[in-house]
Every structure is written in C-alpha cells, then in structure tokens.
Amino acid sequence: MGENLGLKIRNLRKQKGMTLKELAGDRVTAAQISSIENGKCNPSDELLSYIAEKLEVDVEYFTLTDRERMQKKFQKLMDEIALNFDKESIDEVLDRIKVYEENLDMLSDAQKGYYYYCFAKQSYFKEDYDKSFIDFSKALVYYLKTNNYDIISDIYICLGNCSYFNNKYEIAFGYYKNSEELIDKGISLDNIARTYYDLALCSIALNRYTLSDVYLNKLKDFIKQNDWHNKEQYLPGIEMMQGNVDFKIKDAEDSFKRFENAYKKYKLNSDFEGMLKAKNNMAVCLWESGKKEQAIQLFKDIIQCEKEINKENIAFILDVYLNLIDCLLEMKILDETLNVINEAEGVMLKQNYEEGIIKILMSRFDFLCKIKDYQRAEDYAFYALDFMEKCNREEQKVELYIKLSQMYKNMGDNKQAIEYLLLSQNNK
C-alpha cells in the first residue's frame, strides 16, 4: 500500500484544496499525515477510514485500483438489475449503465458482455433486429471468454431469433444448434425448452417437417420429465407446430385436431391472438378437407374479430385475407372475391404495409386473369411492378414476370409471353 496510498491521499487532498493541518484535524498531527503521504508509514484501518471520511470518499478509493473499483461498482449495479429487466424497464436500465461507456476497458469480460447484452435487449424489444443482432454479437464475444453457459445459450437463441425474424432461416437454425450444444453444460430448463422449440419452428420455416417432428418430440419428452414455472407457455405452440407438421406429413384431419387443441390451450391462457391463429389454421385444414364453406366462414369470423388492425397483427391479417381470397376464387364466388380484395387492399394501404400491398395486388391480378379481364390485369401488373421496383422486391418481380408470361400466352401473344419469360430468367 505504502507510497501508492500516500500519493492517492496527497493528490486528493490537494484537489480538495486542504492543508495537512486541515486533513489531520484533531485526530492526528499534520506531521503524521505528511509521513503517510510520503510513504514512510501506513495508517491503521481506523485512521484510513477517518481520512477517507474527511476527503469525502469511500475507503475503497485508497485500497483498490481504479480498475478494481470500477468493476466492483459495475458488479453492484449488475446484482441490482440482474437479468430481470423487461420491455417496460429496459430504458431505465440503460440510463444506469450508459455512464460506464467511457470506462468499458476497465470492466471484466462478463461485465462488458452484460453491457452490450442490455443494449441488445433494448433493440430486441423495439423489434430493431438488425441493431439487436450487432449488440448481441458483441456481447457474445465477451461472454464466450467466461463459463456463463446459460447467458451464452440465451444470446445464441436471441441471435437466432433476430435472424429468423429477418427471414434468414438457415442462419437462425445454426444459432439454435449452437444453443443445443450447451444443453449438457447446465443451462436453465427454460433455455433448453426454448432451444428445442425454436429448432422445431425454424425447421418448419425451412420446410424440414420430419426434422421439426424430431425436435417437437424432444421438447414434449423434456416437458414431461421436468417441472418449472414456465412450462405451460410452450404447450399451445407445440400443438400449433405439430398441426403444421401433421398437415405436411400426415393429413388435414389430424392437423385440425391439433389446431383445435391449440385453440383450447390458448383460450385457457386468455391468449386472444393465439386463439385466432389457431382458428386460421383450422380453417386451412377445413379447406384442404373439402369443407370449403366452413373454411370461408371461419376466415370471415377471424377478420371480424380482428377489428383493431395495427402493425402488430397486420402480417397475420394479410395471411387470413389471402387464404379467404384463394378459397373464394377456387369456389368461383367472384363478386365476393372482388369485395374481399378491395377490403384487404384498403387495410394494407391504411397500414402502409408494403408486403401486404404487393401480395394483394398480385391477388387482384390473379382474379382478373381468372375472369379473363386481361386489359385490367395488365394495368394492375404494371402498377404492381412499379411498386415492387420502388420497394426493391426483385424476387416478387420475377414471380410477376412469370405470371405475365402465362397471361400473354393465354391471350395468344407469344412474343410478349417469351419476352416476360426471358425477363424472369434474367432477373433470377
């Protein structure tokens, strides 16, 4: 301690504008303080506490290095916050940790990881998945230097989710697999369940239904063998995914039962949105089973229930509208099909939902081709192409080129048909 301690006391005393006599007070002599400052003797613990009090600092200011003090202070903050923050409290958490930005180099690897983890969570809650991915990646760099496998697993899952929500399913699957490799390293039961759940869901997105079935069975076995407070929340989603898998590798009737069970579980949890999503899948099963009138009625019921349409549910509502339009068109209920297309287009325009506007325009094009109103179909196709160009939707342009090629072929205009077929090939 010696000389280094003495220098700290002297420097702080001078910063405060105090003389040796003022610091000594009536407790010790100025000469004793001078000896301490010159490293000739060390103060007792009691005297050091007195000096710290006079200089208005904690004793740790003298006993710990700047790095040690910074890490201890940040650790205290971490212990207070832990990982219990949520969407409502994350901004307050960030206000408390932002002050450490200029001192990050002094923090431990785990603390640096926690710092970036908090920022990643804020972006994640705000659904800014690109920024969230960057900060989770930074957090991962530091946590990988520790043995905190549960946090590492959580970060892998979140990185996977950021990729999944950006439709990068192969990348997402890789991150979920990384989390799976940590299952034997003592990660939490909830992280194990999340890992199996996300692997099953991502497998469906990748059209690997047999693999999804494997992970669903692992998840169901895991839930049967373990008990923890969050286990019930996975059950409706399991039924939904199993229904999707059964729909692809078994039959629609088995799927319908799964979705019906999911609906009941969502209802028990008072999850209104989950109930409607289960209903949508039930309607698709009815449609596939040839019960088209019942399917149409169910699609209509869902749209009627979702009177409050906003950015949170617009993608789901689009799916319901598209299912209803296809079902009506297949049954050749043309007037009603047109009414639904008009209604859906109004909803998508009101929400300024680019994906929805494009898909409804494509549906209108298909409808006009179905009734052989090729002149109007062509007009809407060019309108859709302009919108796709503005939104940089190259894949959808290719899809529309192919549809235009088929339309011109049906019209007997082989020159135009070939031209758009070549455009589709050149833009792939």
Residue 403 lies in a domain: no
Helix, strand, or coil (residue 189): helix
DSSP state of 168: -
179-183 long-range CB contacts below 8 Å, 24 or more apart? 179/153, 182/149, 182/152, 182/153, 182/156
pLDDT for 269: 85
Helix (H), strand (E) at residue 372: none
Backbone angles phi, psi at 304, to 5 degrees: -65, -40
Kindly give, in sequence order, each residue whose CB lies less than 8 Å from that of residue 352, ignoring residues fewer than 6 positions away: none
Backbone angles phi, psi at 333, to 5 degrees: -90, 80
Residue 336 lies in a domain: no
Residue 248 lies in a domain: no
The model's pLDDT over 142-190, given as tens digits with 9 standing for 90+, comes to 999 999 999 999 999 999 999 999 989 999 999 999 999 999 999 999 9
Instruction: Measure Cα distances from 346 to 101, 340, 360 in Å.
Output: 47, 10, 10
Q: How far apart are CA 402 and CA 412, in angstroms?
A: 15
What the block records as the tokens of 374 is: 């090729």
Residue 220 lies in a domain: no
Residue 27 lies in a domain: yes
What is the percent of the chain where pLDDT is above 90? 61
- Low-confidence stretches of the chain (pLDDT < 50) are 1-2
Residue 242 lies in a domain: no
CATH of the domain at 42: 1.10.260.40
pLDDT for 307: 66
pLDDT for 3: 52
What the block records as the tokens of 313 is: 């549910």
pLDDT for 66: 77
The model's pLDDT over 217-241, given as tens digits with 9 standing for 90+, comes to 999 999 999 999 889 899 999 999 9
pLDDT for 309: 64
**Residue positions counted in the chain:** 428
Given CA atoms 13, 15, 18, 20 in this order, what sign does their dihedral have? positive
Residue 421 lies in a domain: no
Number of structural domains found in the chain? 1
What the block records as the tokens of 404 is: 């235009």
User: Do 176 and 160 contact (CB within 8 A), yes or no?
Assistant: yes
pTM above 0.75, yes or no: no
Residue 148 lies in a domain: no
Residue numbers of the domain that contains 19: 2-63
